[in-house]
Amino acid sequence: MRDYNYKEKWSKLLTPEIVKKLTLINEYKGEQRLFIEAHKDELIELVEIAKIQSTEASNRIEGIFTADDRIKSLVQAKTTPRDRDEAEIAGYRDVLNTIHENYDYIPINANYILQLHRDLYKFLGSTEGGRFKTSDNIIRETDADGNECVRFRPVPAWETALSIDELCKSYHEAKSEADPLLLSLMFILDFLCIHPFNDGNGRMSRLLTLLLLYQSGFIVGKYISIERIIEESKETYYEVLQDSSINWHENENDYKPFVNYMLGVVVNAYKEFESRVELLTNPNLSKADRVREIIRKHIGTITKAELLNMNPDISDTTIQRALADLLKNGEIEKIGGGRYTKYVWRVED
């Protein structure tokens, strides 16, 4: 069986690049903890936006979709699921809420991981949730020509329960010594390599990522969707997963690609948090000014639907008027048309 001894492994990750990111994240953590305490009321909007974006993005990575207006209603519990995809979305919403509200009281052990997985599937009316896999699973990938190959073979079904127990035991044994960020991300990589469930492993890994980060004091994912940042770079996400799983069964895999990528995700979340709170707490900015600043600072294109999700206190009419004014003034460009319309800040040549 694989050796999960993090006590001996975590310090090998302390490369200059990773140490730089760890330092930056801890600086952000210290600065923003004070800000969060002072501006709890203003940040309620960010929490609600992040819940919607996290639920949508994490499910979308796995090919689970619903309409934009439905996702918001589902996350806010204003409607009930009407098909399998919506049932899975509602389950993710509830587990996410459980983690947001109770992260300090959720032990890292097999029983609680099973309970979270059970709740992920509670709207499906099946016995799929809350059980480790009953048959061996294989992670496959399909190339551009449609050829399928085996990317990774997780632990066999008979070994799963013991592997999760060993994983959790090693995590607790290393907590007093290892850097909490590195330890959390190593745990998630190993969880994904064990692939303990018949279904829902990716979504559970992202929920557990938030749980471990929150328990270590890094709560930026409550205000900025870490799942959305992962989705926006999911090709890289899958590449680093593969790179870090090579020779995993032989205890010779390299955690660095996955850990380095995920630390970058956390850095981006903190940077976005800093940018967003500046807009939210600036009394001199009108709602139209906020729309302008969001587009100006956004990398790449943005849709009206995304602007609405990011600003639930700004009406559709106000955003539409702001976009029209920005187009008229030549500050933004319009790309596409109809429901596929996107906007991008016009860069001076």
Would you state the pLDDT for residue 43?
A: 86
Q: Give the pLDDT confidence of 53-88 residue by residue, as tens digits.
A: 999 999 999 999 999 889 989 999 999 999 999 999
- The CATH T-level fold of domain 286-345 is Arc Repressor Mutant, subunit A (1.10.10)
Mean pLDDT of 14-35: 92
- Give the H/E segment covering residue 185: helix 180-194
* Chain mean pLDDT for the chain: 92
Architecture field, domain 6-279: Orthogonal Bundle (1.10)
Q: CA-based angle 267:272:276, to the nearest 5?
A: 155
Q: What is the pTM of this model?
A: 0.89
Lowest mean pLDDT among 19-23, 64-68, 187-191: 64-68
Helix (H, G, I), strand (E, B), or coil: what is residue 26?
helix
DSSP single-letter state for residue 322? H
Would you state the pLDDT for residue 4?
A: 94
Which of the pair, 139 or 164, is modelled with greater confidence?
164
Tokens representing 293 are 């600043």
Helix (H, G, I), strand (E, B), or coil: what is residue 224?
coil
Would you state the pLDDT for residue 44?
A: 86
Lowest mean pLDDT among 18-27, 148-157, 219-228: 148-157
Mean pLDDT of 121-145: 87
Domain boundaries, the chain: 6-279, 286-345
Backbone angles phi, psi at 140, to 5 degrees: -110, 160
Q: 152 - beta bridge partners? A: 139
User: Using CB atoms within 10 A of its CB, is residue 138 exposed (0-12), middle (13-18) or buried (19+)?
Assistant: exposed
**Are the folds of 6-279 and 286-345 the same?**
no
Would you state the pLDDT for residue 94?
A: 97
Please say whether the beta carbons of 192 and 201 come within 8 A: yes
Under the banding of pLDDT at 50, 70 and 90, the label for residue 349 is: low
Would you state the pLDDT for residue 339?
A: 78
The answer to whether residue 32 scores a pLDDT higher than 90 is no
Under the banding of pLDDT at 50, 70 and 90, the label for residue 197 is: very high
Identify the CA nearest to 263 among candidates 7, 35, 15, 9: 15
For 285, 296, 299, 304, 308, the CA distances from 346, given in Å and listed in that order, are 21, 8, 11, 17, 21
